[in-house]
Amino acid sequence: MTELLGVLGRYALKKISSLGRSTIIFLHSIIAIPNLKKSFPLLVNQIYFVGVQSIIIILVSGLFIGMVLGLQGFNILKDFMATGSLGTLVALSIIRELGPVVTALLYAGRAGSALTAEIGQLKASEQLSAMEMMAVDPLRRIIAPRFWAGLISMPILSLLFCLIGIYGGKLVGVDWLGIDDGIFWSGMQASVDVMEDLGPMVIKAAVFGFVCTWIALFNGYDCRPTSEGISRATTATVVQSSLAVLGLDFILTALMF
């Protein structure tokens, strides 16, 4: 019994100390007066890796999720003679939930794991140490631009996901199943609000971007510098990010909608 308590205690201490470490790392990388001339190209480069290279997977997933929603929604609404509400159904479910959540999950899998592996690799090959010994703070040079890039990219990716998802739903509902174009859009326009739906969506996406990027960077920075350590850290990134996104989604939804 006491042994169990000891194990639990050690586990809790380990988790709490890693939370503390991650916060310190985060603060060190963020609370820095950025040298705009030097930091901006780094940021642009990272937005390219984190954001631009995730576009394809986001667009393809968004299109298919929108199409599936259109198809399923049509089949259900048909029974209630309410296919006119398909636009509302597709738009609200994508904008309020699926858009930010699925984008964040894909982002964690695509960009988050890559970030962890990259930072872990830099650590394993002593590049982070070398940078530190050259009096260049790796938190500012390596971590900070990636963090900001993630924070900026996620809302944009999420917006793109929503847009293509809604057009995917329209493709199925209007162009294939023959719902009236006007009804589809007007129902949607009547129920989707910029401040009540789109705003919270962008906020959600930014929060998810913040959390996923932070988790990914910390796992990479804190991993054991071996091949096994890197692969574990990468797995941990995807698992922790996914759990964090789903949990936070509930909290944010409860707060904002």
Contacts with another protein by CB under 8 A lie at 28, 38, 41, 44-45, 47-48, 51-52, 55, 77, 80-85, 88, 91, 95, 125-127, 129-137, 141, 153, 155-156, 159-160, 162-163, 166, 182-183, 185-194, 197-198, 202
Instruction: Tell me how far apart the alpha carbons of residues 92 and 198 are, in angstroms, rounded to a whole number.
Output: 10
CB of 209 to another protein, least distance (A): 12
- For residues 142 and 212, which CB has a smaller minimum distance to another protein in the complex? 142
Do the Cβ atoms of 153 and 209 come closer than 8 Å? yes
Q: Which is nearer to another protein, 202 or 248 (CB)?
A: 202
**Minimum CB distance to another protein smaller for 101 or for 202:** 202
- Residue 155: CB atoms within 10 Å: 21
The residue among 19 and 190 lying less far from another protein, judged by its C-beta, is 190
* Residues contacting 17, CB < 8 A, separation 6+: none
Q: Which of 208, 190, 205 is nearest to 160 (CA)?
A: 205
State in angstroms the smallest separation of the CB of 208 from another protein. Answer: 15
Collapse the DSSP code of 51 into the 3-class scheme (helix H, G, I; strand E, B; otherwise coil) and give the result: coil
57 and 157 in contact (C-beta within 8 Å)?
no
Tell which phi-psi region holds residue 33, choosing left (phi > 0), alpha (psi between -120 and 50) or beta.
Answer: beta
Q: Which amino acid, residue 99? A: G
Pick between residue 51 and residue 70 the one whose CB is nearest to another protein. 51
DSSP state of 239: H
Between 61 and 240, CB nearer to another protein: 61
Alpha carbon separation from 191 to 99, 151, 253 (Å, rounded): 17, 29, 17
User: Contact at 8 Å (CB) between 143 and 213?
Assistant: no
Shortest CB 180 distance to another protein, Å: 9
Closest to another protein by CB, 118 or 249: 118
Q: Which of 118, 120, 109, 219 is nearest to 157 (CA)?
A: 109
Please provide residue 33's backbone torsions phi and psi, each rounded to the nearest 5 degrees: -75, 110
CB of 250 to another protein, least distance (A): 24
